[in-house]
Amino acid sequence: MLLTIDVGNTGMGLGVFDNNELRVTWRMATSMSRMPDEYAALLFPLLGEAGLRTSDITDVCLCSVVPPMIGTLEDLFTRHFNTKILIVGAGTKTGMKIRMDNPREVGPDRIVHSAAAYHLYGGPLIIVDMGTATTFDTVSKSGEYTGGAISPGLQTGAEALFARTAMLPRVKLVRPSKAIGTNTTTAMQSGIVYGYVGLIEGMIARIQRELPEKARVILTGGFTDIFSKETDVIDVVNPNLIFQGLRMVYDLNKSV
């Protein structure tokens, strides 16, 4: 089985494929202070709960925007799983040309989910990924990555609001019942959630105007369940796009 891993700045997603079927997914916090054995202690029980053994994991494909985590995870899978990792980076086949001033600047996760989206849905596309940052990526009709935009993520913005104000509390990020909040908590929830709906709708409208033809919009990452219900500019919701992309990239590179 193939274990796919997407390491973000605050969270890490893991998905296990049994051939082409995504069998199970997990999410855990990204922590550079954890040792390989600590990650093993977290991962082993999750495998057991899913009815899997360490010997079932024969291959691993990883993309990471946190470079120090790569060595930790390499050590984890070499020692505890006796398998090597395919690390997505410069030189990895993705099936996608990158039309950027400096292609090496683009996060590997953005290329992976863009390649997966094009493979699944064709082009042109706008991919909105709601993670630590909210990213907007564009793919041409012919399957070229043409750029995008980066803004603070929903959780990042909410934490900054709490950390930089004296009287505003940390609030749960849920859909408010209305835009006009009647207390501090609902007012913050409205401003954060509906504010990001406005951000997404405004950015998509601007990006669409710059494209030669109307693009299909794909939503992925965290909080997809909230935002897909609050706007009609999203065409497809796929929270597992990054895992599907990593499996696709692994298949392209497994003979190397």
Residue 124 preceded by cis peptide, ω within 30: yes
pLDDT digits (tens, 9 = 90+) for 146-195: 999 999 988 888 888 888 898 889 898 888 889 999 999 999 999 999 99
The pLDDT value recorded for residue 240 is 95
What mean pLDDT, rounded, does the chain reach?
93
| Token pair in block for residue 22 | 């995504």
pLDDT digits (tens, 9 = 90+) for 112-153: 999 999 999 999 999 999 988 999 999 999 999 999 999 998
Q: What is the number of helices (H) and of strands (E) in the chain?
A: 7, 11
The pLDDT value recorded for residue 230 is 86
What is the strand order of the sheet 125-130 is part of? 97-98, 144-152, 133-139, 125-130, 216-221, 236-237
The model carries a pTM of: 0.91
- Check if 129 is active-site: no
d(CA 31, CA 253): 28
Cβ contact 178:230 at 8 Å: no
Tokens 């709601």 correspond to 130
Cβ contact 162:170 at 8 Å: yes
The pLDDT value recorded for residue 256 is 60
Q: Which of 37, 56, 59, 109 is catalytic?
A: 109
Spell out the domains of the chain, with CATH numbers in brackets.
2-87 (3.30.420.40), 97-241 (3.30.420.40)
